[in-house]
Amino acid sequence: MATAKKKKQETMSNEIALFGEQSTDLSAVPVYDEQYVGAGNDNVSADDVKTPAIFVLQKTSQVIGELEGAKPGKLWNNITDVCSDSVTLINLGFRKSYIAGEKQYGGATLGVYDTYDEAAAVIAEQQNPDNYRVTDVHKHTCLLLKADGTVDMPVEIRFRGTSQGVSRDWNAKFLSSKTPRCASVWKMTSKKESNSKGEWFMPAVDQVGWVPPSAIEGLEEKRKQIMGE
C-alpha cells in the first residue's frame, strides 16, 4: 500500500516537474476532470474580478510602451492584452455609473456608484467637498465576436466626457430601430480628433450586419443572463 502511494506521488511530481518543458501555447487548454473545474475559486466574487473591457488607447495610456502593438488609437482588450484596429460586437445593454473623485486631472477616485445621489453623498462627507465632483460613465455591455462570428467574451465599452456623444448616438439608433438591441452586429474602430490643445482618439461604431432571426431567442436569453435581468 505504501509502495503504491509512493509511486503515485512520484508520478504526480514528475508530471508537475515536466510543466516547464511543455509548449508555451497557453491556448491549448488541457481537459481536466469536471470535479476539479473551478476548484480554489470559492472565495472569488464578482467584485474581485477585473471587468473585461475594450479601451481606445490615448497618448497618456499606461499600457503604451508596456505592450507590443500598443499605440494611440488602437483598441486594447484589458483581459487578453490584445491591441487591434477594430473589434466586432453585439450590443446587449446600457447602464450608467457615477464616479466620485477629485476635480483635478488624474485626481484620486473615491468610488464608483450606481446612482448620482450615492456618489454625491460620499463627496458631501469629505473635509473639502468643493474639491470633488461626480462624473457619469456610459457603459455598453457587449459580446465580443471572433473572426468567424462566434462569441469570444462579454466586454464593456465605456464612454466618458466628449465620447458620450458616440454613446448617445448609438443608443438613438437602437431606439429608432424596430428590432431587439442584440439583433445588430457592429464594428468598433477609433477616429482621430484634434483642436488647439492637441490630438486624441474617439471611439467610432458602425453597423456591419444582422444576427440571424433564428439565433435571437438564444441570444436574448444570454443577454438577460449577462445583464442580470
Residue with cell 450608467: 96
Closest alpha carbon to 114 in 100, 94, 97: 97
> Which three cell numbers mark 147?
473572426
Q: What is the pTM of this model?
A: 0.78
Residue 211's identity, in one-letter code, is V
- What is the distance between the alpha carbons of residues 73 and 85, in angstroms, rounded to a whole number? 8
Q: How far is CA 50 from CA 8, 45, 77, 220, in A?
A: 38, 11, 12, 24
Provide the CB-side half-sphere exposure for 190 (13 A, CA).
22
Per-residue pLDDT band for 16 (boundaries 50, 70, 90) equals: very low
Q: What is the pLDDT of residues 32-82, one digit of tens each?
A: 777 777 778 777 665 666 689 999 999 989 999 899 899 999 999 999 999
Q: For residue 12, is pLDDT > 80?
A: no
- What is the distance between the alpha carbons of residues 57 and 82, in angstroms, rounded to a whole number? 12
> Which three cell numbers mark 103?
476635480
